[in-house]
Structure 1
């Protein structure tokens, strides 16, 4: 007879720790006896990621989080996509929006029909077929409304202050019975099987448990250090290894999108919140020193800096296993893929949800562990390849960094995807992928990748018929954009935070 997990111990707080605590407290409160989170105020959290993907809405909805209250508490704004500047080529600018493009033409995907016209029209606009892209550029926002129109399918995410989000979830978790223990982990005890039996804190306290969740950040104190799970380095494909983060004063109403601007050795981010703007520079230390990156970042702020830039070192890659024995790593302790597409919180969610689905008993069956590891490995690799795409595809050769990215060998799966698109504009879609057809289309086209010819199946469609269909699609989406209110008006009316002077 199996013995259920009675005591769950979460090592580390921050976004990963408190997201895990909140989820388990709400969904597993009848299945476990105690959930304990150990964190130390002496250890700061990374907190550079203040932008998300639409999956965060599912997480919040499952926890019954009121969206407007959450945005007020975290100084949040809405996000409809990412604007990429100087990616692919200097002076190039495109939007990677949320949501699909256009609509299917019978059995054919939208982009197959659109590409037939776009390949012969240099002024063809992909943005015109995506409501989120048009609304982002117009500074507009509203949640889904109505039926049978693009307005009913608006896809969005959030920008928010990550430290306030963790505090918001902490309050919710403690109200649900999570016990927070203040302390620094000084030793991890293992039993005769090599399983974790307890965490020894400063002051000789011992926190025992059955299942341990490692949310200790890059150090991976439990999974990496105590259990010896190695790290798979992906820096040959994602070479940036440093970041600088700094807040600045707002100079305009917040726009509903993140901005990523490429520079000679990486890129800068701009994330608008209600009370400030989050800025940062991601760069490769092999091609740019920290002082140059700092000067570059400060010189490109829209407003006055509100603090000194904070330096962060990282290595892109993942743990060789995400679950070993009775320990699961979630967040930075499991891997890091840089914040280019705001995937860090999404990967935290995936790890939590899959752990709930495969939640063990104290026998810790290897089939469950192997399935978890295989699923998370596939997801990390899919996200990795999507990020590599941004660096690899394009015509930039104005610096050693971009020449390195242009000439590097990329994973076979990405090569196959790119070759399919180069041939006839085909975009394969695997079940359960995090990034879907519209995501790959936006970035491949935006980076300058072009098919040699359109899909042969579209050539049988009378050109006048497909042009009429495309024009009608554009007109409907433009009319929907015109009905949306300004982003700042929506925030002011529904979720404005109290901002002290």
Structure 2
């Protein structure tokens, strides 16, 4: 029986775990404490999310006007990818978050992409087929007029350190105990389970279950319980980042921008008070000094004295996220580079899946094994989608991009998806066959591959006939533009949130 849970490590992951479990198990008589040391900093650069983060705040009963202004948050309808492809007309594309109106417009995109792969010269770039793309390009926020009866998915941008602080105060209101100590030793019982955390002031903190939120250090899951780490280095080359802020402009789109540079890519994330910028790169191809120079050059801040932060990333996952009486959450369990802002999504899925598995089987080996397999599959599915961005790039300007394009260290799943696409077969059916649509839906895969222009060369295409021109692009564009009349500016929606503080 679990009577006391100790979460080691704060940050967004730790306090998210504390909040979710405190709410879910409010009537189970379980004492939850979070132990962190103010002497240990957090990485704190994850400033974007997927739409799943909204479900977390909805579950917690926290309104947007309560947390977003406090965390300098903005809306996010998707990600704009720039310069990943060199193919004419496909130099950039938008990966949209789903909306209900897509049910009307997306089939036209799927169809056009299908017949173009089979040689018809039809328009198959994703940007004209999705409402979220239109909202971003016209700087419209994702909150519709109340008369618009369709759901719109969206994520957020935010200051991660402020989100951590916000969730800390909220968790304390739910009864979570906050302890400020530094752990100097971890003690195991005779069965190899964690029994005590020894602090720098001589205390022995006992618990029944422990959650490791110690970041890349993995103090409990990796260093104490010796759970092996599975590196993704052969799939994903990037292991470093350099980050710096810039001033915010008056009006900005609800989107993350990912721009390919010489040895990786640069993010641009708009908050209400600043813009977050970072260059994610591979240290095997680029030095930290060269990366900083390239980032500053891109931002026109080569002569600026604004400081930067250099970070190292350990890309991969642990073999077991739940081992003995310890659950790893956040960077301690693994990390996939931030290209699709999946870090907090993986945190949510881990906590929710653990709670469900524990409630079904307590400490049974069967439930642990099923849980670990489920989380590993999610990590690998996210990895495959991100690997695909690099594998299908058409840049040849540096050895970094050439080696990514020639990297054949692919999973069987991704290899099959690419085979289906280039052979002109039905990608949606293959996604359904593999049962991976719950990780990234067919629309996401279509946007990626079509957005890069992974089609036959223009000279190989023939003029579309009546079958190929089944859908009229003008009708789709008219439908989306009329839907967008129900949305106000991103700027005004953020102002309305602040007005309700």
The 5-angstrom pairing of residues 196-275 of structure 1 reads 196-275=194-273
Match in the other structure for 1:69: 66
- When residues 165 and 492 of structure 1 are mapped into structure 2, their CA distance, relative to the original with a 3 A threshold, is same
Deviation at 1:104, TM superposition (A): 5.6
Whether contact under 8 Å (2:246, 2:276) holds in the other structure is yes
* Distance across 1 between alignment mates of 2:142 and 2:78: 14
Q: Which moved more, 1:53-62 or 1:291-300?
A: 291-300
Whether contact under 8 Å (1:271, 1:279) holds in the other structure is yes
Match in the other structure for 2:366: 367
- When residues 210 and 414 of structure 1 are mapped into structure 2, their CA distance, relative to the original with a 3 A threshold, is same
Task: Give per-residue Cα distances to partners, 1:337-359, cap 9 Å, x unaligned.
Answer: 01000000100000011011112
* Distance across 2 between alignment mates of 1:260 and 1:113: 27
Whether contact under 8 Å (1:267, 1:282) holds in the other structure is yes
Match in the other structure for 1:418: 418
Whether contact under 8 Å (2:99, 2:132) holds in the other structure is no
Match in the other structure for 1:81: 78
Deviation at 1:124, TM superposition (A): 4.5
Match in the other structure for 2:331: 332
Whether contact under 8 Å (1:12, 1:37) holds in the other structure is yes
Deviation at 1:32, TM superposition (A): 3.5
* Distance across 1 between alignment mates of 2:349 and 2:305: 34
Whether contact under 8 Å (1:75, 1:497) holds in the other structure is no
Deviation at 1:246, TM superposition (A): 1.2
- When residues 404 and 431 of structure 1 are mapped into structure 2, their CA distance, relative to the original with a 3 A threshold, is closer
Whether contact under 8 Å (1:38, 1:183) holds in the other structure is yes
Deviation at 1:43, TM superposition (A): 0.7
Question: Do residues 346 (structure 1) and 345 (structure 2) align?
Answer: yes
Q: Which moved more, 1:210-219 or 1:361-370?
A: 361-370
Whether contact under 8 Å (1:10, 1:213) holds in the other structure is yes
Partner of residue 489 from structure 1, selected from 488, 492, 499: 492
- When residues 239 and 210 of structure 1 are mapped into structure 2, their CA distance, relative to the original with a 3 A threshold, is same
Q: Aligned residue pairs: how many?
A: 485
- When residues 360 and 185 of structure 1 are mapped into structure 2, their CA distance, relative to the original with a 3 A threshold, is farther
Partner of residue 281 from structure 2, selected from 283, 294, 299: 283
- When residues 80 and 105 of structure 1 are mapped into structure 2, their CA distance, relative to the original with a 3 A threshold, is closer
Whether contact under 8 Å (2:124, 2:450) holds in the other structure is no
* Distance across 2 between alignment mates of 1:44 and 1:423: 49
Question: Do residues 393 (structure 1) and 396 (structure 2) align?
Answer: no
Runs of 5+ unmatched residues, structure 1: 454-458
* Distance across 2 between alignment mates of 1:342 and 1:85: 16
Task: Give per-residue Cα distances to partners, 1:254-293, cap 9 Å, x unaligned.
Answer: 3200001111110111100000111111010011000011
Deviation at 1:446, TM superposition (A): 1.2
The 5-angstrom pairing of residues 37-52 of structure 1 reads 37-52=34-49
Match in the other structure for 1:377: 376
Task: Give per-residue Cα distances to partners, 1:104-134, cap 9 Å, x unaligned.
Answer: 689x954442225656346554222100001
- When residues 181 and 296 of structure 1 are mapped into structure 2, their CA distance, relative to the original with a 3 A threshold, is same
Question: Do residues 478 (structure 1) and 481 (structure 2) align?
Answer: yes
Whether contact under 8 Å (2:85, 2:393) holds in the other structure is yes
Whether contact under 8 Å (1:17, 1:37) holds in the other structure is yes
Q: Secondary structure at the match of 1:142?
A: strand
Deviation at 1:231, TM superposition (A): 0.5
* Distance across 2 between alignment mates of 1:24 and 1:460: 57
Question: Do residues 35 (structure 1) and 29 (structure 2) align?
Answer: no
* Distance across 2 between alignment mates of 1:56 and 1:87: 27
Partner of residue 437 from structure 1, selected from 427, 438, 442: 442
Partner of residue 55 from structure 1, selected from 38, 52, 71: 52
Q: Which moved more, 1:134-143 or 1:283-292?
A: 134-143
TM-score computed with the length of structure 1 as normaliser: 0.91
- When residues 79 and 306 of structure 1 are mapped into structure 2, their CA distance, relative to the original with a 3 A threshold, is farther
Deviation at 1:307, TM superposition (A): 4.3
Runs of 4+ that moved beyond 6 A:
302-306
What is the root-mean-square deviation in Å for CA atoms of aligned residues? Answer: 2.6
Q: Secondary structure at the match of 1:41?
A: coil
Question: Do residues 467 (structure 1) and 471 (structure 2) align?
Answer: yes
Deviation at 1:308, TM superposition (A): 1.1
- When residues 235 and 179 of structure 1 are mapped into structure 2, their CA distance, relative to the original with a 3 A threshold, is same
Deviation at 1:181, TM superposition (A): 0.6
Deviation at 1:426, TM superposition (A): 2.4
Match in the other structure for 1:456: none
* Distance across 1 between alignment mates of 2:223 and 2:60: 32
Whether contact under 8 Å (1:140, 1:487) holds in the other structure is yes
Task: Give per-residue Cα distances to partners, 1:366-399, cap 9 Å, x unaligned.
Answer: 0111011000010000000000011110211110
Whether contact under 8 Å (1:102, 1:473) holds in the other structure is no
Q: Secondary structure at the match of 2:276?
A: strand
Q: Which moved more, 1:472-481 or 1:72-81?
A: 472-481
Match in the other structure for 1:175: 173
Runs of 5+ unmatched residues, structure 2: 459-463
Match in the other structure for 2:191: 193
Q: Which moved more, 1:372-381 or 1:116-125?
A: 116-125
Q: Which moved more, 1:479-488 or 1:271-280?
A: 479-488
Task: Give per-residue Cα distances to partners, 1:286-321, cap 9 Å, x unaligned.
Answer: 110000111111222267978411111112110011
Q: Which moved more, 1:347-356 or 1:90-99?
A: 90-99
* Distance across 1 between alignment mates of 2:493 and 2:304: 27
- When residues 420 and 97 of structure 1 are mapped into structure 2, their CA distance, relative to the original with a 3 A threshold, is same
Q: Secondary structure at the match of 2:402?
A: helix
Deviation at 1:463, TM superposition (A): 5.5
